[in-house]
Copies of this chain bind each other. A is one copy, B any other.
Amino acid sequence: MARQIKAEKNLNSRQIRDAEATQAVILAAAEEEFAKHGLTSARTEAIAKKTGVAKSMIYYYFKDKEGLYQAVLERSHSDLLQTSQQLDLDHLSPEAALEKFLTALLDCVSRNPKLPLIMFHEAVQNQGKYYKRSSSLSIDTKLVKILERGVATGVFRKLDPFQSAINIMGTCLFYFVGAGNIQQHPQGKRLLSKAMLEQHAQEAIALILAGVRNP
C-alpha cells in the first residue's frame, strides 16, 4: 500500500525505494503461491510477476526460494502460534475449553484461509521438516489434553484422544482445501465470504461438540 502511494507521487521514476513495502509485497504474493503449490512447485518467477517487482529482489531480501519459504511459514503461523499460547484452558471445564479452543482456531484460519493449505503442503511434501518447534504440533497436543481431561471426567465419550484430535482438526481445516476447488455454493455464495466462514465455524463447532459429548 505504502508502495502504491509512493508510486503515484513519483510516476516518472520506476525505481521506487521502500524496503519494507517491497518485502511486504513479496511476502504476500509468496504466501499465495506457496499455499497453492508448496515449496517445490512454487515458482519464483510467478511470485515476482504478481508483485511487479523484479525477480532478483526475492534473492536480495530472502537469499533464495527456501529463505522466502521459511519467512512465509513463520509469518503465517505467528498468529496461530501466539493465539494458542495465550489460551489458558486448564481452569475451564473440558467442554468449555474445547469450545474456546475451536473458536480460536477457526478464527485464526478464517482470518488467513491460506494457512491450512500451507500446512498441508508442508506436511505432505516435506514431512514438516521446516517446522522447527512446530506450532501446529504444539496446538495438536493442546487439543489432545482437553480430550483426555473430558474422557477422564466422563463428560466426553470413551474416545481415543489422539485419533479424535486429528479428526477434529480435519473437521475444521478441510473446508479450506475445498474452498479453492468447489468455489461455488449451490446458492451461489463463495466459500470464503465472511458469512460462509462464520457459518463454517458454527457448523464445525456444533458437529464436534455433539460428536464428543457423552450422551
A residues neighboring B (CB under 8 Å): 35-38, 40-41, 117, 120-121, 123-125, 127-128, 157, 159-160, 162-164, 166-175, 177-178, 180-183, 185-186, 199-200, 203-204, 206-208, 210-213, 215
Check B123 against A204 for contact (C-beta < 8 Å). no
Task: With A173-B170, A211-B211 as known contacts, state yes or no: A203 contacts B160, CB within 8 Å.
Answer: yes
Task: With A170-B171, A170-B173, A177-B120 as known contacts, state yes or no: A164 contacts B210, CB within 8 Å.
Answer: no
Check B207 against A211 for contact (C-beta < 8 Å). yes
Cβ-defined partner of A162 (8 Å) among B168, B174, B186 = B186
**Number of copies of this chain in the oligomer?**
2
Check A120 against B124 for contact (C-beta < 8 Å). yes
Cβ-defined partner of A185 (8 Å) among B37, B128, B162, B172 = B162
A110 → chain B, closest Cβ, in Å? 14
Check A159 against B206 for contact (C-beta < 8 Å). yes
Check B210 against A215 for contact (C-beta < 8 Å). yes
- Kindly list chain B residues whose C-beta atoms are within 8 Å of the C-beta of A125: 36-37, 41
> Given the complex of chains A and B, what is the CA–CA distance between A168 and B211 in angstroms?
11
Candidate in A40, A164, A178, A200 with the most chain B CB atoms within 10 angstroms: A178
Cβ-defined partner of A177 (8 Å) among B38, B123, B172 = B123
Check A181 against B127 for contact (C-beta < 8 Å). yes
Task: With A124-B36, A124-B181 as known contacts, state yes or no: A160 contacts B199, CB within 8 Å.
Answer: yes
CB nearest neighbor in B for A141: B186
> Given the complex of chains A and B, what is the CA–CA distance between A169 and B204 in angstroms?
12
Check A208 against B206 for contact (C-beta < 8 Å). no
Check B203 against A159 for contact (C-beta < 8 Å). yes
Task: With A127-B181, A211-B210 as known contacts, state yes or no: A166 contacts B160, CB within 8 Å.
Answer: no
- Closest CB pairs A-B (n = 8): A170-B174, A41-B41, A211-B211, A123-B181, A40-B41, A170-B170, A207-B211, A163-B203
